[in-house]
Chain A
Amino acid sequence: MSQSERAPCSPASQGRAAPPRAMAWRRRRTAWLRFWREYRRNRAGVVGLAGLMLFVLLALAAPLLVDPAQLSLTGAPGTPYQPPSARFPLGTDNFGRSLLDLVIWGSRVSLTVGFLATLVSVTLGSLVGILAGHFRGWTATVLMRITDWFLVLPTLVLAIALAAVLSRSTLTVIVAIGVTAWPTTARLVRAQTLAVEARPYIERAKALGGGHGHIMLRHVLPNVMPLVLAQTTLLVANSIITESTLAFLGLGDPTTVSWGAILQDAREAGAISAGVWWYLIPPGLAIALVALTFTLCGRALEGVLNPKLRERR
């Protein structure tokens, strides 16, 4: 993909009859097809992608499948602890709510937090990484010292501390995860930025009078993006697990349904020692499956985008 982004700048693309914009699009399309061909070769990645789409569709379609009124404690349709049956395919919880409905509804919070927290951390990480890679000298030193320091701190402990002192809401969880998860991205982006900036076309852009902003946005960023994408998919898996962990520790929004919160309810209600397995297995399995699909996609992307890894397989 990085080939295509570079294309408009390379001398080979000049002096042809076709308008440059159309040609750029054509190149982009072939690069995309090449990327997809390469990705498709990784069977685990394709499985992960399919699973991912399924989960996203489920979360989007949740309001069609589930009546939110039945998820409140008072509107519960069944009696407590009913084992799986035709009416409640995954049984009911200690309030008589359908677990299938809870798990479907929980996917919304888990995926939202996963995506948004990743967005926050990837944006922060890319910003710090590109700045630290582009401006050498003391800016880079200071930024990298901060990054290294965050890298050393136990992420979850910091996230828990943040979530504990701020008010209980989904936004807090997103901020707590986003603010603590960015350093790995920053390191990765900085390394890639340094590699990109050593290429001759950056020198050409500088010679033509490109400023810092132009070089960082138009030349470095497009070349860094593919690797960031792979990192992002891996980060989403982490964020979803962290979200469920925070919810399980009682630090999530108490009014929303999320997979971690369901597990916390199960534990507090004593469902584990009572042997109510249908209360315990579905939410955890959902977390694990979503995290696994993201991990599989991320590894497949990494394999396609990082030639060093590609040879190894």
Chain B
Amino acid sequence: MSAPPRPHTERAAAPPRRRQWRPRAGTLRYIGGRLLSSAVSLLAVMVTGFFLFRILPGDPVLAMTRGRAVTVEQLAQLRREFGLDQPLPQQFLDYCLGVLRLDMGMSYQYRAPVSELIGARLWPTVLLVGTATVLAAILGLWLGTRAAWRRGSATDRLNTGLALTLWSVPTFWLGLLLIAALATGIGPMPGLFPPGGMMTPGTTGTLAVAVDVAHHMVLPVTTMVAVVYAQYLMIMRSSLLDELGGDYLVTARAKGLRNDLVLRRHAVPNALLPTVTLIFLNLGQVVAGTILVETVFSWPGLGTLFYEALKVPDLPLVQGLFIVFSASVIVMNLFADLVYPVLDPRVRP
């Protein structure tokens, strides 16, 4: 990622007017290029998926049935079922056509289409990740701004230290600790939150369900926010520190603006731009966090599905989830690339 050029002139505080931004040949070329490179990445994910799960394990059927008593006939039956009796190029072609039609084969464990299983578990994950990312971004950006503005102060040291510590803590351990402390309860304190799952069975009524789901979400979301916000804090802090040397801030102060206004209207908007891209670029780690958090809290989403598929190992399902996770990160990056020029006039093509 190339950093945007450092501003040496004062940028207008008001958001750029939309009218100025009309699609031009350059813009269209930029969008086309981004779309093309994302398509190439997606293609590469597809090829990697095939390589990882069909070629690397040697015989996928043997890998899946490892440790189980299966007859030779059953193995042959399974090979036929997964199309492994075909020659490799034919397998590859079938696989590619299947993925393009969103058909990723049958799950070995559930005996159901992989895409159906993924579709059923998608929304809980989106709910969890969305809530956690928004909260982490708000918290991280706010604390990062404060840390940079008062750099070297006790607040800064406390925030940076806490962020580094949380960054060093493994996600799953934090989740386990939260369960032990707040769901099981310590000593006289009863468990405040449910230790896992998404809702209590038998809850009815929209409001009751919403409250119940929110209650179940508290611990998983807290875990994810704690792990993710630290990164946003550090990025925002260093990004704002880069801006603080800018001449335009001296100009702003010379004009007689209050310190608070200089920060809010001049420094932060400029520092926010690289941070926003980095937030999108770091979504890969959020995806990784989901797998762990969902596993620990038995949240019925894609992460838990991944964990369950790994234990078997249910290779078609693992493959499907691998493609979905990777593709979602690529799509998010594409989104960041497309939104960035809208936010930042300096990098408009």
Q: Which residues of A are at the interface with B, using a C-beta cutoff of 8 A?
A: 149, 152-158, 160-162, 164-166, 237, 241, 244-245, 248-251, 260, 263, 266-267, 272-273, 275, 277, 280-281, 283-284, 287-289, 291-292, 295-296, 299, 312-313
- Complexed CA–CA distance, A260 and B172 (Å): 10
Where the two chains meet, the residues of B that have a C-beta atom closer than 8 Å to any C-beta of A are 41, 44-45, 48, 52-53, 56-57, 63, 151-152, 164-165, 167-173, 176-177, 179-180, 183-186, 195, 241, 284-285, 287-288, 291-292, 295-296, 306-307, 310-311, 313, 315, 318, 322, 325-326, 329-330, 333
Known contacts A164-B318, A244-B173; 17 further A-B pairs (Cβ under 8 A): A152-B333, A153-B329, A156-B288, A165-B63, A245-B171, A249-B292, A266-B176, A267-B296, A273-B183, A280-B177, A281-B177, A284-B177, A288-B169, A289-B168, A291-B168, A292-B164, A295-B167
Taking CB atoms, residues of chain B closer than 8 Å to A155 are: 284-285, 288
Structural contact, B172 and A154, CB atoms closer than 8 A? no
> Do residues A152 and B284 form an inter-chain contact, with CB atoms below 8 A?
yes
Decide: B325 and A263 in contact? CB cutoff 8 A.
no
Kindly list chain B residues whose C-beta atoms are within 8 Å of the C-beta of A237.
168
Contact check, A248 vs B172: say whether CB atoms are below 8 A apart.
yes
Bound form: Cα–Cα A248–B170 in Å: 10
A160 to chain B: which residues have CB within 8 Å? Answer: 291, 306, 310
A and B contact pairs by CB, cutoff 8 A, 24 listed: A153-B284, A157-B284, A157-B287, A158-B326, A161-B318, A162-B56, A164-B318, A165-B52, A165-B57, A245-B292, A248-B170, A250-B311, A267-B296, A272-B184, A273-B184, A273-B195, A287-B168, A287-B169, A288-B168, A288-B169, A291-B170, A292-B165, A295-B164, A313-B152
The CA-CA distance from A161 to B228 in the complex, in Å, is 23
- Give the shortest distance, in Å, between A207 (CB) and chain B (any CB): 32
For A291, the closest partner residue in chain B by CB is B168
Chain A residues lying within 8 Å of B313, measured Cβ to Cβ, are 164-165
Provide the bound-state CA to CA distance between A296 and B44, in Å: 36
CB distance from A312 to the nearest CB of B (A): 6
**Is B326 a contact of A249 with CB atoms below 8 Å?**
no
Nearest CB in chain B to that of A285: its residue: B173
Q: Are B57 and A245 in contact (CB under 8 A)?
A: no
Q: Which of A154, A245, A275, A292 contacts B325 (CB 8 A)?
A: A154
Nearest-Cβ distance from residue A292 to partner chain B, whole angstroms: 4
Number of A-B residue pairs with CB-CB distance less than 8 Å in the complex they form: 134
Name the distance in Å between A298's Cβ and chain B's nearest Cβ.
11
Q: Is the CB of A284 within 8 A of B325?
A: no
Interface majority SS on B: helix, strand, loop or mixed? helix
- Please determine whether A153 and B45 come into contact, CB atoms closer than 8 angstroms: yes
In the complex, residue of chain B having the shortest beta-carbon distance to the beta carbon of A281:
B177
How far, in whole Å, are A153 and B325 apart by their CA atoms in the complex?
A: 9
Among residues of A, the one whose C-beta sits closest to the C-beta of B307 is A249
* Closest beta carbon of chain B to A142's beta carbon, Å: 13
Asked if A149 contacts B180 (CB within 8 A), the reply is no
CA gap between A160 and B53 in the complex, in Å = 12
Contact of A161 among B184, B322, B330 (CB under 8 A): B322
Q: Is the CB of B295 within 8 A of A249?
A: yes
With known contacts A280-B180, A284-B170, A249–B310 Cβ distance under 8 A? yes
Give the docked Cα–Cα distance between A280 and B313 (Å): 27
Q: Is the CB of B186 within 8 A of A292?
A: no
For A163, give the chain B residue with the smallest CB separation: B310
Q: How far is the CB of A242 from chain B (nearest CB, A)?
A: 9
Contact across chains for B180 and A154 when beta carbons are under 8 A apart: no
A154 touches B310 (CB 8 A): no
| Chain A neighbourhood of B322, CB < 8 A | 157-158, 161
| Cα A296 to Cα B284 with chains together (Å) | 24
Q: Which single member of B152, B170, B184, B292 contacts A288 (CB below 8 Å)?
A: B170
Which residues of A lie under 8 Å from residue B169 when comparing CB positions?
Answer: 284, 287-288, 291
> Are A272 and B179 in contact, with the CB atoms below 8 A?
yes
CB distance from B141 to the nearest CB of A (A): 20
Q: How far is the CB of B41 from chain A (nearest CB, A)?
A: 6
Cβ distance B6 to chain A, nearest Cβ, rounded Å? 13
Bound Cα distance from A277 to B333, whole angstroms: 41
- Rounded to whole angstroms, the CA-CA distance of A153 and B323 in the bound complex is 10
Given contacts A245-B171, A250-B310, A263-B172, contact A152 B330 (CB under 8 A): yes
